[in-house]
Amino acid sequence: KGYVDHQSQMSLPVSRKSAGYRSGNFHAVDRTFFDELMAYYMREDVVIVGGNDNSEHTRFTTGRQKHILPTDGGTGTFVCKKDGEWWVLMNRHSGAKIRLSFKENPKPYTKSNTPELVDIKITDYCPYGCTYCYQDSTETGSHGSKSFIDDICRSLDGMEVLEVALGGGETTLHPNFAEIIQNFRNHGIIPNFTTRNPNWIKNEAIREAVKEASGRFAYSVDNVMDMYRVYMNIESSGLLRSESSGGQMRLAFQYVMGSGSEDQFKECVKAAGKLGCDMTLLGFKEVGRGKGYRHWNYKNWYTLLKNMRAKHEFYG
């Protein structure tokens, strides 16, 4: 009767090549991926079974493989690129990745032929003077040349890189920061960045570029007060969630393991859970200013988190 259950509608990926410069909002489904998918479904030994949330699912017991392609995401949510006998798919809103092969016995996937994510330090300038900074960035540090960063962007586009993580120094204080993230997006690359600067949202050019072009951004924090201050700041700016990706949370936190006490670390984990934000745990590096920093040693961090989870001290 012309009805398609939206939970059964696959989010077919578009070509990473087609998601680049001046492609607009329309992206064609990757033809090679579609042909391989169809050939797989048309095999004589493949039977597709299932159901929906309004009826009982088909029951079967042998040879079961769960379908790993996402549903109900819309065409263009995922981009893909072929890597030998394997496919790499990335959700452009959340960063989630899927690797799959339609081959019967593909060669083990040990590493990609070209990068999927590239870290780029765009500046060595930073006024914050974190005493444990492994980059040793200062106010005398210089900014990366925009023309050179543009060259890198074009090279990465040619390799079908999926996303970049822009770091520093303080990324948002690069004089061309807004143009840099817009340029990466124009080349089909999702730009994410790290920052400690609470004031970049006052810059209209950066604010608009982040709204239109960026993936996610991670704030470096030392304590719970930092986290709540940043959260309220970003929330009031309207940039907390991405409108174009169904309300995906843009804000994340990053915490350098050992920069604070064990209790401080635990409180930050709890706060991240309460705020609904991801938190990246960074290993302490004894280089730069970190070489002379007397850091806390809690190698039992995983046990700490397990115990906290068992006591329901954090969620998510």
User: Once rounded to an integer, what is the mean pLDDT over residues 185-203?
Assistant: 94
Q: How far is CA 119 from CA 122, 127, 193, 209, in A?
A: 10, 21, 9, 19
228 pLDDT more than 80: yes
Identify the residue with better confidence: 70 or 41.
Answer: 41
User: Once rounded to an integer, what is the mean pLDDT over residues 144-171?
Assistant: 96
How high is the pLDDT of residue 74? 65
Q: If pLDDT is split at 50, 70 and 90, which confidence band does 5 have? A: low
315 pLDDT more than 80: no
Find the helix packing angle between 262-275 and 301-310, rounded to 10°. Answer: 50
How high is the pLDDT of residue 160? 93
Q: What is the pLDDT of residues 208-223, one digit of tens each?
A: 999 999 999 999 999 9
Q: What percent of the chain has pLDDT over 90?
A: 69
User: Once rounded to an integer, what is the mean pLDDT over residues 18-27?
Assistant: 58
194 pLDDT more than 50: yes
CB proximity list for 256: less than 8 A, separation 6 or greater: 132, 220, 282, 284
Q: What percent of the chain has pLDDT over 70?
A: 86
139 pLDDT more than 70: yes
Q: If pLDDT is split at 50, 70 and 90, which confidence band does 21 have? A: very low
Identify the residue with better confidence: 150 or 62.
Answer: 150
98 pLDDT more than 70: yes
Cα-flanking dihedrals φ and ψ of residue 192, to 5°? Answer: -110, 160
User: Once rounded to an integer, what is the mean pLDDT over residues 27-44?
Assistant: 91
163 pLDDT more than 90: yes
How high is the pLDDT of residue 52? 60
Q: How far is CA 291 from CA 34, 121, 297, in A?
A: 52, 20, 14
Mean pLDDT of the chain: 88
d(CA 290, CA 133): 6
Please state which of the ranges 3-12, 112-121, 194-203, 276-285 shows the lowest mean pLDDT.
3-12
Going by their DSSP bridges, the two strands 251-256 and 217-220 should be labelled as parallel
